[in-house]
Amino acid sequence: MDVRRRNNVVITGRPDGPVVMPAHGFGCDQNMWRLVVPALAERYRVVLFDHVGSGRSDLGSWDAERYADLNGYARDVLEICEELDLREVIFVGHSVSAMIGARAATRAPGLFSELVMVAPSPCYIDDPATGYRGGFTEADIEELLEALDSNYLGWSAAMAPVIMGNPERPELGQELTDSFCATDPAIARVFARTTFLSDTRAELPRLRVPTLILECERDPIAPREVGAHVHATIPDSTLVTLDATGHCPHLSAPEATADAILSFLGERGR
Residues 198 and 166 sit within 8 Å (Cβ to Cβ): no
Catalytic residue among 51, 229, 247, 250: 247
Phi, psi of 222 (to 5 degrees): -125, 85
Q: How many other C-beta atoms lie within 10 A of the C-beta of residue 65?
A: 8
Residues 102 and 76 sit within 8 Å (Cβ to Cβ): no
| Residue 19: partners with Cβ closer than 8 Å, 6 or more residues away | 44, 45, 46, 47, 86, 87, 88, 89, 90
Catalytic residue among 29, 76, 126, 219: 219
SS3 204: helix
Q: Is 247 a catalytic residue?
A: yes
CB-side neighbour CA atoms (13 Å) of 177: 14
Catalytic residue among 54, 57, 95, 252: 95
Apex 162 CA angle, 243 and 220, nearest 5: 55
Q: Is 95 a catalytic residue?
A: yes
SS3 215: strand
CA distance 35 to 43: 15
Residues 244 and 253 sit within 8 Å (Cβ to Cβ): yes
Q: End-to-end alpha-carbon separation of the chain, Å?
A: 33
Task: Please list the active-site residues.
Answer: 95, 219, 247
